[in-house]
Chain A
Amino acid sequence: MIRVEHIHKVYPTRTGDREVLNDISFTLNHGEKLGILGRNGAGKSTLIRLVSGAEAPTSGEIVRTMSVSWPLAFSGAFQNSLTGLDNLRFISRIYQQDYKNNVNFVTEFTELGLYLREPVRSYSQGMRARLAFAISMIIEFDCYLIDEVAAVGDAKFHERCEFELFQKRADRAMIIISHDADYVRKHCNRFSVLHKGKMTFYESFEQAHDIHIRNLHTPI
């Protein structure tokens, strides 16, 4: 279970403090899949970083009683000047995984070939997504935090993500952020909208989506 209690997050800016998240609370149980909709800059990625524990909230508390992945996103988690394989080595060491066993899976899943021996800096967004996704699949978490990565890429990557994440690991909890509303509808069973620092939960996807569309078209 993950329990988020009265989270606030404030970032200092040149024009004064900006409250990105304002008093957010929710609980995520085993197996629940929470989709978060919100416009650009609404604080979705920030919220996921806080839930993962990579970053500390300004106030409030997050309690994790299950293992939670790092945020699977386009940026972060990798050192750009290291190669794909060296990053795999690094992450294997941190999470106490056997590097040699994992090389095959990652090589096969990412289909990056010789690129695995090149610095991650030189990867395209899709390549990074594939690497991020593959590496996160070698570690069994109770909850996966997905920031867009699974919703991009080509059809084959989609199929594989579908299989690895939603079939093989159907019993896990997830928090999914995506601008692809259809993706959220298909894979989540709880829906919320993040807008102006507030998080609101809705009974159905349709309700959440309607509000989200309305938010998109209201000036801030």
Chain B
Amino acid sequence: MPLRLAMIGRSAAVQWRVIYALLMREILTRYGRHNIGFLWLFVEPMVFTTGVTILWTLTKSVHGSSLPIVAFALTGYSSVLLWRNMPARCIGAIEPNLALMYHRNVRVIDVFAARLLLEAGGATISFITLSLFYIYIGWLEPPDDVLTVIGGWLMIGWFGASLATFLGALAEKNEIVDRLWHPISYIAFPLSGAAFMVDALPPIAQHYILYVPMVNGIEIVREGYFGSQIHARYDFPYLLGCCVGLSLLAFAQVAVINREITPQ
């Protein structure tokens, strides 16, 4: 048994080394060494979120609650960035890394993991930095329950990561995935709960919209942020089921791709 544990430990060390090396390699090719370099990792989503916040404030978006629009836009749009950017980066992730797979320990799952960490990290740093900034300048109240915010955020991240891995592996076999992801992610945006509270919808719509996994996650984040000011509606077991199911599908697809890939 101790031998077994030692072996697992060694494998974990190798895996971490590979993911770290890929992470650094991704940062270099994506952001390079010019101007602010890898700071773009979270400056880019911050610019996005700030822009959307300003737009929504100017147009006085109707979101069906008495919440400040800044808080609404920040929680909503940050969440969208989290689940939407990961699949976008994982689709087509294998091709530019095929040459590196000449090294036995560099596997498809490591390539995905590096990109997921980078994308989730960027979205998270952006969310935290903007939150702190808005709180500091008085546009936002500190979250009611930080742990709930973290819980909701992690669930959205898990959903995004498993979806990204699944689509990334699938895209390797069929380019239709790449073609369809762009329109689908675009259409999914207004349905994702970023721009409305479920409670503000008619009851029949509430029932159906909760079938969209991201909506549940965003509602949890907002519950953590606003506490009893709002009535969050979500189905946690359903969201958990979606994440577990997608993760299993994702691992299965990665296993298939691992067998079929030809490094070049």
Q: Which residues of B contact A73 (CB under 8 A)?
A: 102
Task: Please state if B259 and A56 are interface contacts (CB–CB under 8 Å).
Answer: yes
One digit per residue, 1 when the CB lies within 8 angstroms of any chain B CB and 0 when it does not, for chain A 49-80 equals 10011111000000000001011010111111
Task: Please state if B103 and A91 are interface contacts (CB–CB under 8 Å).
Answer: yes
Which of B20, B25, B99 is close to A77, meaning CB atoms less than 8 Å apart?
B99
Contact A55 to B103, CB < 8 A, known contacts A82-B28, A82-B29, A89-B24: no
Task: Please state if A79 and B261 are interface contacts (CB–CB under 8 Å).
Answer: no
Task: Please state if A54 and B104 are interface contacts (CB–CB under 8 Å).
Answer: yes
Answer whether residue A86 sits at the interface, using C-beta atoms and an 8 A cutoff.
yes
Which of A70, A89, A96 is close to B102, meaning CB atoms less than 8 Å apart?
A70
Answer whether residue B59 sits at the interface, using C-beta atoms and an 8 A cutoff.
no
Answer whether residue A220 sits at the interface, using C-beta atoms and an 8 A cutoff.
no
Residue of A nearest to B25 (CB): A90
- Bound state CA distance, A54 and B263, in angstroms? 7
Residue of A nearest to B110 (CB): A94
Taking the nearest CB of chain A, how far is it from the CB of B183, in angstroms? 29
* Residue count of chain A within 8 Å CB distance of chain B: 27
Task: Please state if B29 and A81 are interface contacts (CB–CB under 8 Å).
Answer: yes
Residue of A nearest to B18 (CB): A94
One digit per residue, 1 when the CB lies within 8 angstroms of any chain A CB and 0 when it does not, for chain B 89-107 equals 0000000110111111110
Residue of A nearest to B99 (CB): A76
Answer whether residue B174 sits at the interface, using C-beta atoms and an 8 A cutoff.
no
- Bound state CA distance, A95 and B99, in angstroms? 16
One digit per residue, 1 when the CB lies within 8 angstroms of any chain A CB and 0 when it does not, for chain B 226-253 equals 0000000000000000000000000000
Task: Please state if A77 and B102 are interface contacts (CB–CB under 8 Å).
Answer: yes
Which of A54, A82, A89 is close to B103, meaning CB atoms less than 8 Å apart?
A54
Task: Please state if B263 and A78 are interface contacts (CB–CB under 8 Å).
Answer: no
- Bound state CA distance, A82 and B26, in angstroms? 10
- Bound state CA distance, A77 and B99, in angstroms? 5
Residue of B nearest to A57 (CB): B259
Q: Which residues of B contact A11 (CB under 8 A)?
A: 262
Taking the nearest CB of chain B, how far is it from the CB of A27, in angstroms? 20
Q: Which residues of B contact A77 (CB under 8 A)?
A: 99-100, 102-103
Task: Please state if A52 and B97 are interface contacts (CB–CB under 8 Å).
Answer: no
Interface centre among A80, A93, A95 (most CB of B within 10 A): A93
Task: Please state if B102 and A94 are interface contacts (CB–CB under 8 Å).
Answer: no
Task: Please state if A79 and B99 are interface contacts (CB–CB under 8 Å).
Answer: yes
Q: Please report which residues of chain B, range 167-194, place their CB below 8 angstroms from some CB of chain A when the two chains form the complex.
A: none
Task: Please state if A90 and B104 are interface contacts (CB–CB under 8 Å).
Answer: no
Taking the nearest CB of chain A, how far is it from the CB of B253, in angstroms? 16
- Bound state CA distance, A79 and B96, in angstroms? 8
Q: Which residues of A contact B35 (CB under 8 A)?
A: none
Residue of B nearest to A80 (CB): B99
Task: Please state if A75 and B99 are interface contacts (CB–CB under 8 Å).
Answer: yes
Task: Please state if B104 and A70 are interface contacts (CB–CB under 8 Å).
Answer: yes
Interface centre among A49, A73, A75, A90 (most CB of B within 10 A): A90
Task: Please state if A90 and B102 are interface contacts (CB–CB under 8 Å).
Answer: no
Q: Which residues of B contact A76 (CB under 8 A)?
A: 99, 102, 263-264
Task: Please state if A86 and B263 are interface contacts (CB–CB under 8 Å).
Answer: no
Q: Which residues of A contact B99 (CB under 8 A)?
A: 75-80
Can you name 18 A-B pairs with beta carbons within 8 Å? A11-B262, A49-B263, A54-B104, A70-B104, A71-B102, A73-B102, A76-B99, A76-B102, A76-B264, A77-B100, A78-B99, A79-B99, A80-B99, A90-B25, A93-B20, A93-B24, A94-B17, A95-B103
Given contacts A55-B262, A95-B103, 11 further A-B contacts (CB under 8 A): A11-B262, A54-B263, A68-B104, A71-B102, A76-B99, A78-B100, A79-B25, A79-B29, A79-B97, A79-B99, A82-B28
Nearest 7 pairs of A and B residues by beta carbon: A93-B21, A53-B104, A76-B102, A77-B102, A70-B102, A54-B263, A76-B99
